[in-house]
Amino acid sequence: MVVTDRLYDNGRMAFCFLRLLAGCCLFLCFSSGAFAQRPVFRAGAAAVNITPNLGQGIVGNFGIPPPAAYVHDELHARCLALDDGTTRLIFVIVDNVGIDRLVFDEAKRLIYKETFIPREQVLLAANHTHSAVSAGGEGEKRRGWNERAELDAYQTFVARRISDGVRMAIHNLEPARIGWGVGRVPQHLFNRRWKMKSPVLNPFGEKDRVRMNPGRLNPDLQEPAGPTDPGVSFISVQSREGRPLALLANYSLHYVGGVPDNHISGDYFAVFADRIQELLKADRQDPPFVGIMSNGTSGDVNNINFAAPAEQHRPYEKMRIVANDVAQEVLRVYKTIQHKDWVKLSVAQSELPLQVRKPDKQMLARAEKILSRPDTVKPAHPLEATYAQRIIQIQEEWPDQVKIILQAFRIGELGIAAIPFEVFTETGLELKAKIPFKTSFTIELANGSYGYLPTPEQHQLGGYETWLGTNRVEKGATQKIVAELLKLFDTIK
C-alpha cells in the first residue's frame, strides 16, 4: 500500500511537471512571436463645425477685412486618427487662412489632457482658405508675435473644437486597412511669380526682378520664376469590408477664390471633401465618411494663367471645376491602389530655432517718414504705408528668434513632412526627391503660421513673398528646414 501510494504520488508529480513544461513552452512560443497575434490596424475620422459668427472680419487680402454677412458653406476642422496597435497618429486640417502656433498648442494641450496622445503625434494645419475669419487675434488682442497674449474668443473656440474632433475620431476607430497613391492634375497650377523684363518698384523704394500676380497678358512678362508640382497625393482608409472611412489628399494649390468679399467659405478644399465623398458613394454613412484636402507646398502657386486671356466664371464656379478635376483624378488612382491590413506608424519631431529678420536703420527711418507725411502726398507704391506700419511693428514687437515645430510622419512606406510656413513649390519638390521613402508629400501651415518661406535664390529675385513683413525669418531658413526634416526622416526610415 505504501509502495502503491508512492508510485501514485510520483506519477502525479511527473504529470504536473509535464504540464508545467508544456505551459512554459507555450509561453515561450507566444512571447517569441511564433503564435503571437498581429496587432490590429485601426482608423477613425470626424469633422467638427468651426463656423464663426457673422459680422467678424474675413481675412486673406489687403485692406480692411470685410465683415462676414453670409455663410456659403460651413467651416470645419477635419480629423483623421490612425492606430497601428502601438502608435497613434492624428491629422487635423482646419478651414482657415493660417493659425497661430499658440492656438494649435492649446488644442494639443487639450488633446493630451483628454486622450493622452503625445503632442508630437498630432499634426494640425490650416488649409489656407481666404474666406474665413482670423485665428490670429482681433482688434486690440491681435498679438503679432507676442507669445504671452491670451487667446481671443474665436481662437479659444477653434482650439476647443479641434480637440473635440480628435476625440470623436478616436471614438470612431475601427479595424481598417490603408492605402495611398499619387495622381497628376497639372492644368490648374501656375507659378504666380513672374520674372519681368523691366525692374519692378517695391514698397521699400527698391527694385525687384519678380512681380507676384503681374496681370493677364502683361507685355512685360518674361517667364515664371519657379516650377509647379502637379502631383495630388492621398491616403485612403477603409473598413475591413471595404467601406470608405476617410480620404486625406494633398495638392499644391494656394487656393482658388472667386468668392464674394463678405462670404464665408472653405474654398475648393471644402468642395473637394464633398465631391470625393460623392464619387466614392460614401455619403450618409454612420459614422460619416470624411474627405480632407490639405495644402501642399503652394506659397508661389495659384490657378491663374497670366500668359492667357482672362476667364469668366460665376462665383464659386472655378473652385468647383478645380475640386472636381482633382477628385476625379484621385478616384482614378484610388481604383488602382491596394489597401493594406497593417502598416507601421512612426513620428519624429523637433523644434528648430530661426533668426527673425529685422529692419535696418535706413528702412526704419524711411518707414517713419512715410507714416508721418500728409495724406495728400501721392505714394510711390500703393502698399508703402502698409509695409511702413509693418516695419515699425517688426521692430517693436517681433522677437529676435523663433522656434518652429517640424514633423516627419511615417505611414508604412509613405513619408509626410509638416512645415509651419507657406512653402515654395521648389522646396516641396526637393523634399519629395530627398525624403527616404518611395512616396512622400508635405503639408504646409502645420503647427503654426509664420508667413512665406522663399528659397535663398527667390530672395535674390525679390517680389511680394520675399518682402520684410511678408517673409519673417532668415533668408537661409529653407536650407535649415530641409536639412532638419531629412534628419528626422532618417530616424524613422
Contacts of 270 by beta carbon, 8 Å cutoff, 6+ apart: 73, 75, 76, 95, 129, 293
Q: What is the largest distance, in Å, between two alpha-carbon atoms of the chain?
A: 125
Unique residue bearing C-alpha cell 503681374 = 214
The predicted structure's pLDDT at residue 62: 73
Query: Cell triple for residue 38?
Result: 498581429
Task: Pick the more confident residue, 436 or 21.
Answer: 436
pLDDT band at 8 (very low <50, low <70, confident <90, very high): very low
What are all long-range contacts of 107-115, with beta carbons under 8 Å and residues at least 24 apart? 107/158, 107/159, 107/160, 107/162, 107/163, 110/159, 110/160, 110/162, 110/163, 111/162, 111/163, 111/166, 111/167, 114/163, 114/167, 115/166, 115/167, 115/170
Residue pLDDT, tens place only, 422-481: 999 999 999 999 999 999 999 999 999 999 999 999 999 999 999 999 999 999 999 999
266 touches 213 (CB < 8 A): no
Distance CA 284, CA 434 (A): 41
Residue pLDDT, tens place only, 404-416: 999 999 999 999 9
Q: Where are the beta strands (DSSP E) in 157-309?
A: 174-184, 190-191, 193-201, 207-212, 221-224, 231-239, 244-251, 263-264, 290-295, 301-302
Q: What is the mean pLDDT of residues 325-336?
A: 98
Query: Cell triple for residue 273?
Result: 471633401
Distance CA 232, CA 333 (A): 10
Cα dihedral value 312, 95, 296, 43, nearest 10: -130
Q: What is the mean pLDDT of residues 78-98?
A: 98
The predicted structure's pLDDT at residue 1: 37
Distance CA 50, CA 71 (A): 12
- Average pLDDT for the chain: 92
pLDDT band at 36 (very low <50, low <70, confident <90, very high): low
Q: How far is CA 300 from CA 189, 206, 446, 459, 473, in A?
A: 10, 21, 17, 12, 17
Distance CA 329, CA 185 (A): 7
Question: What percent of the chain is predicted at pLDDT more than 90?
Answer: 87
The model's pTM? 0.91
